[in-house]
Structure 1
Amino acid sequence: MTVTTLMIIRRMSTDETLRCAKRELRAAVAKRLDALDAESVREQSRVALALLTSLPEYRQARRISIYLSMPSGEVDTTAMVQNALEQGKRVFIPFTHKAMPTPTQGEDQKPSIMDMVSLDSLEDYQGLRRNNWGIPTPTKKSLETRENCINEVRAGKAGLDLIVMPGVAFDGGGRRLGHGKGYYDYFLRRYSEEAGGEVPFTVGVALKEQFLDPPANVPVGDKDWPLDAVIVGDGIVVRR
C-alpha cells in the first residue's frame, strides 16, 4: 500500500467521523427544538432583534444579507428584515438554484448553490411565496430585476457589509453547524474569491436550545467558515 493510498484512507476515515459527529449533533438539537413552544421562539426572536440592532457592525452596515426563516425551529427574522428596510439598508436574501458545471471546480462541484439577491421593500418581502421548507423565496422570473451581490462584487462594485446566518447549532468559538448542504460555507468561499479575500462580518443567530455551553463544541472541518459573532435568544452575544 502506497503512502498516497494511506493518506486517502485516513482522510476518508476522518471525514466520516466528522459527518457522524455532525449527524448526531443535528439529531440532539432537533429533539430540543421539538419540545420548544412557539411563544419561546417569539420571545427569543425579539431578544435576538434587540441584540442585533445594538451591534455597531449592524448600525454601520449599509448592505446586509438576512436569511428568511422557516416557520419553526429557528430565530424568526421577519422583524430583522423590517428593521433593516426601515433603517434604509440594502437587504439581500438567499436564493438557491442549480449550479452551472465548471471544469475548474473538481471535487468542490455543487449540484446547487446559494446566491444573495436584493429585496426591494417590505411589500416585496410580503409577496414572496414559501418553498417546500416554508421559507419565503423569490421566483426565478423576479431575478431579472434583482441585484445579485456576487455579480456586483465581480464587477468591482459594492458587496455586503454583514450577513445574518442561520444554523442548527452554534458555540462560543464562532463554530456553526448548518443543515448539511454547505450553502453558506460555499457562498462565503465564492465571495472571498471574488472580493480578493475579503468577507462580510458574519453573525449567527441562535435560539438558546441551539447554543452549546462549554466545554461542548460544534464539530467542524476545514471548509466550515467561523462566525465573527453569535447572538443567542437568552440575551448573550459572543464574539470570536
Structure 2
Amino acid sequence: MSVAVSKLPPFPMPMLLHQLRTLSSSSSSRCFSSSLSMRRSTSSSPSLSCFPRSFTTTVKNDGGHENDLHIEEIFAKKRSLRTQIRKQLKNMSPDQRTEEDNTIQHAVLEAHWFQSANGLCAYVNCDALREVDTSKFLSKILCNEAKDKCSKNRKKLFLPRIEDRNSNMKMLRVSSYDDLIPNSMNILEPTLQDHDGNEREDLMQASEPVDLFILPGLAFDKSGRRLGRSGGYYDVYLKKYFEIAEKRKWKPPLIVALSYSMQIVEDGSIGVTSDDIPVDALVCPAGVIYTNEVERIDNFGLISLGINVLTCRNVYILAEYSGIWGISL
C-alpha cells in the first residue's frame, strides 16, 4: 500500500464531505485528492452531537440477571486483557521503550493539534506503570512558561491530582516541575496550593476551555476504545468536563491517547460499557491514528469523518490551517 500526499487549492466543503463518504464506502483502492481552506477561528465552534461521547451498548439496563451477566463478561474480558498487556509491558526492553518514547513524543510535538492548543490536560508518566513518557513535551510547555509568563502563545497546562479511591480527581494548572510532589504511589501530581499559598486554578472552575486531553492507558484499538487500569478516573472526569463544556457552549477537546506498539490490540478485544469514553486519536510509534468514533471538523485542522483507518479501503484527512492534505491509499 502506498500513500501519496498532496496539497491542493481550496475545495467546497459539501462536495468534499460527499466525496469522502463516497470514497470510504468503496472496497477498491482509490486515489483521493482535494482541499479545504481552513483557518483557525477565534469564535467558538458549534456544539457537537456526540457530546458527551461514550460507547453505547445493546444491553437494556433493567436490572435483570441477563444484564448483570453481560456486564460481568465485559469486566472479565477487561481483567484478562489487563493481565496480558501488563506482562508484555514488563517484558519490554529498555531500549525499545526509549526508542518508542522518543518517536511518540516527537509526533506529539509536531502535531498541529498540539502546536495550536492554548490549553491542555496531560499526565506525568510513571515508570513503574510503564506509561509512555511525556517529559519532553511537558518540559517544552513549562520551559516556555518560565521564559515568558506574559506571552499570549504560552500554553496552559493542567495535570491530574487523585482525590480519593472513588474515581475522583482534579486537573490543576502548573507552571513548573517544582509545582509537583509524589503521591502515595510515587506518581508526581500538583500541590493544591502554589508557592505563594494561593489555590491552584482548577479546570472545572476555569473561565476558558482546554483544547486537548492527552491520556495514558493500558490498551487501545484503532476504533477509539481505551482500556484503563480499572480506576475509572479519566472516564469519570471527562464525562463531568463534557457536561460543563456543553453548558458553557465550549467546543469539546480533542482526546488523544499515547500508546506503545504492543498496547494496540485488535478491534473487539476491548470490552466497553456506556461509561467508557472513546479517544479521538492514538499516537504510537507508527504515527498518529485518527479513530472512527468521532465525526467533526475542529479548529485543530483535523477532519475525522467516522472513517475507519484500519483497512486500505479507507481514508483519513489531515488538514493544515491553510489547506488540507489529501491522503491516497
TM-score range, shorter chain: 0.7 to 0.9
Identical residues among aligned pairs (%): 27
Q: 1:12 aligns with which of 65, 68, 71?
A: 68
CA distance in 1, matches of 2:244, 2:61: 34
Task: Confirm or deny that 1:21 pairs with 2:77.
Answer: yes
Unaligned runs of 5+ in 1: 99-109
The worse-fitting range, judged by mean Cα deviation, of 70-79 and 14-23 is 70-79
Q: 2:275 aligns with which of 198, 223, 227?
A: 223
Question: 2:264 matched to which residue of 1?
Answer: 211
CA distance in 2, matches of 1:229, 1:5: 30
**1:115 Cα deviation after fit:** 1.4
Task: Confirm or deny that 1:151 pairs with 2:217.
Answer: no
Question: For 2:64, what is the secondary structure of its paired residue?
Answer: helix
CA distance in 1, matches of 2:67, 2:185: 33
Question: 2:223 matched to which residue of 1?
Answer: 173
Q: Is contact 1:66–1:165 with CA below 8 Å preserved after alignment?
A: yes
Q: Is contact 2:173–2:200 with CA below 8 Å preserved after alignment?
A: yes
CA distance in 2, matches of 1:222, 1:12: 14
Question: 2:141 matched to which residue of 1?
Answer: 84
Q: Is contact 2:88–2:262 with CA below 8 Å preserved after alignment?
A: yes
Q: Is contact 2:122–2:213 with CA below 8 Å preserved after alignment?
A: yes
Question: 1:116 matched to which residue of 2?
Answer: 171
Task: Confirm or deny that 1:200 pairs with 2:243.
Answer: no
- Spell out the pairing of 1:98-113 with structure 2 (5 A cutoff): 98=164, 111-113=166-168
**1:217–1:238 Cα change, 3 Å:** farther
CA distance in 2, matches of 1:79, 1:134: 20
**1:215 Cα deviation after fit:** 4.6
**1:37 Cα deviation after fit:** 2.1
Q: Is contact 1:71–1:135 with CA below 8 Å preserved after alignment?
A: no
**1:134 Cα deviation after fit:** 2.7
Structure with more helix by fraction: 1
Question: 2:210 matched to which residue of 1?
Answer: 160
Q: What is the root-mean-square deviation of aligned Cα atoms in Å? A: 2.2
**1:236 Cα deviation after fit:** 2.6
Q: Deviations over 1:68-102 (max 9, x none)?
A: 1112412111112112234521111001114xxxx
TM-score normalized by structure 2? 0.61
CA distance in 1, matches of 2:236, 2:62: 28
Q: Deviations over 1:186-228 (max 9, x none)?
A: 111100111116531111001112111x355322111111101
**1:146–1:140 Cα change, 3 Å:** closer
**1:199–1:41 Cα change, 3 Å:** same
Task: Confirm or deny that 1:31 pairs with 2:31.
Answer: no
**1:26 Cα deviation after fit:** 0.2
Higher relative contact order (Cα pairs below 8 Å, separated by 6+ residues): 2
Q: Deviations over 1:22-66 (max 9, x none)?
A: 000000001101101222222211111111122211111010111
Unaligned runs of 5+ in 2: 1-59, 145-153, 292-329
Aligned residues: 217
Task: Confirm or deny that 1:52 pairs with 2:135.
Answer: no
The structure whose Rg is larger is 2
**1:128 Cα deviation after fit:** 2.3
Q: 2:287 aligns with which of 221, 230, 236?
A: 236
- Equivalent residue letter for 1:201: L
- Equivalent residue letter for 1:149: L
